[in-house]
Structure 1
């Protein structure tokens, strides 16, 4: 029987499940509006940290519901929402959901032409370790995506001392395949979890017959990957036009030891 004196048991205890999911305003491929169905897909994944894109908050087209708050409530989590689009009382944007302790570090717009894009960055404490978690939804034009990633890599976001001080998880619908400039800009500093996990990377869009790999999770040095899956059961194929991407992330033994030393000295 393993105990926490066993390094393998410690590693299992530190496993973090991260999900990125474009929920398409909770309107499924059957054209039905159903936030409960989206919450059910997320709950089945067992994810600890959920990065959501394309959420409606107070919009007439989806019944005026605060989708971020509703989904978080159904999952017994807290939601940090950033409206990339905010017109009068109607909002549309991205959120990070978790039941773990968090601190909002930054939420703001990215340089955009046409539909406004944004990002949200939290510090999250998981199993005694601190992580930076960033969620974003990039634009449809390649030139916009490159400018948006350049902004994210700059001194107000990823390049800041606070971001650099802890291991990082970058999530989102990047609208960018691996051959694109925006993807390659991120891949120079972070590692794609689908490549780290081995095996054939799985596309996530469109959900009924996925052919494009545009939803991504990246991690910094010190973080490994146990398993990655594009969740493609019948419910997930109906709930949104994107499939959710789940990554089981594990910190290195050195990172765990550093976290234990910090906790002991606190």
Structure 2
């Protein structure tokens, strides 16, 4: 699941129910805790979802990776994009993970609302994704649709799970009247997309200003 949780400004009980109902093994969070007592807030958020913190928070500027206990986290790192004066800091979080014998890189980012900033941020995110030999699972709020240059940069060489499942027409934002698909999950071609959905329920519309995207994935067998 990839989910912009709107800094928990909305119905937090509904937010936890949305995630728990989906029962994902990983949640890639945008606009997670990043300020005072962020560690405790991240832990509390994860606990409410029935998950644990893998990486992110303040060092990744609100990008947060959460996993179930089925997922073993082997290594983590955070990234901050170059700051444009007067703009919000943006970044990304990464975790090398293993489920059974299969390893993969879990990654999440939140690109700028400023179209002048997004291309450089997309390039920085893409460099990290391209540098790993592991299969990639990447979630992001790209703040633009599939016709945007930053989206195309991130998506190059990866599988858009919505397209693979024939669900690319499902918008994710704004949740009160969804019009745009700006939230996405991208995976390595070695990963099989079994299903993809946008969770659009009354509960999800109370939980955040974005609808979460959810994919069922089959990881490649270990070598």
Q: How far off its partner does 1:206 sit?
A: 0.5
Cα deviation digits, residues 91-139 of structure 1 (max 9, x gap) = x511000021113332020123210000001011123200101100010
Q: Does 1:177 find its partner at 2:152?
A: no
Shift >6 Å, 4+ stretches: none
Corresponding position: 1:110 with 2:102: no
Q: Quote the residue 1:202 is aligned against.
A: 170
Residue in 1 aligned with 2:16? 39
Q: TM-score when scaled to structure 2?
A: 0.90
Aligned residues of 2:42 and 2:57 also touching (Cα < 8 A):
no
What displacement does 1:246 show? 0.3
Query: How many angstroms apart in 2 are the aligned matches of 1:215 and 1:25?
Result: 16
Look up the SS of the partner of 2:63 in the other structure.
Answer: strand
Identify the residue that residue 73 of structure 1 maps to in structure 2: 47
Structure 1 residue 23, shift from structure 2 partner: 0.3
Q: How does 1:218-229 map to 2 (within 5 A)?
A: 218-229=186-197
Choose 1 or 2 for highest CA Rg. 1
Partner residue in 1 for 2:8: 26
C-alpha separation in 2, matches of 1:126 and 1:132: 11
Verify: 1:97 aligned to 2:66, yes or no: yes
1:58 to partner: Cα distance: 4.8
Output one character per residue of 1:6-55: Cα deviation in whole Å (capped at 9) or x when no partner. xxxxxxxxxxxxx0000011112xxx5x2x33221101111110001112
Q: Give the distance between the partners of 1:151 and 1:106, measured in 2 at CA.
A: 14
The 1-side partners of 2:42 and 2:168 are apart by 32
Residues 204 and 210 of structure 1 are in contact (CA less than 8 Å); yes or no, is this contact kept in structure 2?
A: yes
CA distance in 1, matches of 2:120, 2:129: 14
* 1:53 matches 2:30: yes
Q: How far 1:248 moved relative to its partner?
A: 0.7
For residue 186 of structure 1, what is the aligned residue in structure 2? 154
Unpaired runs of 5+ residues, structure 2, are none
Q: Deviations over 1:181-230 (max 9, x none)?
A: 00111222212110011144311101111101000100111112111111
The 1:208/1:65 distance shift into structure 2, 3 A limit, reads farther
Tell me the distance in 2 between the aligned counterparts of 1:67 and 1:241. 20
Per the TM alignment, residue 59 of structure 1 is displaced from its structure 2 partner at its CA by 4.5
Residues 119, 57 of structure 1: alpha-carbon distance in 2 compared, 3 angstrom cutoff: closer
- Return the alpha-carbon distance in structure 2 between the equivalents of residues 102 and 208 of structure 1: 35
Residues 205, 214 of structure 1: 8 Å contact kept: yes
SS at match of 2:169: coil
1:57–1:188 CA distance, 2 compared to 1 (3 A): closer
Give the Cα–Cα distance (whole angstroms) in 2 for the partners of residues 244 and 185 of structure 1.
Answer: 22
Question: Contact between 2:3 and 2:30, CA under 8 Å: does it hold in 1?
Answer: yes
Q: CA deviation at 1:84?
A: 5.8
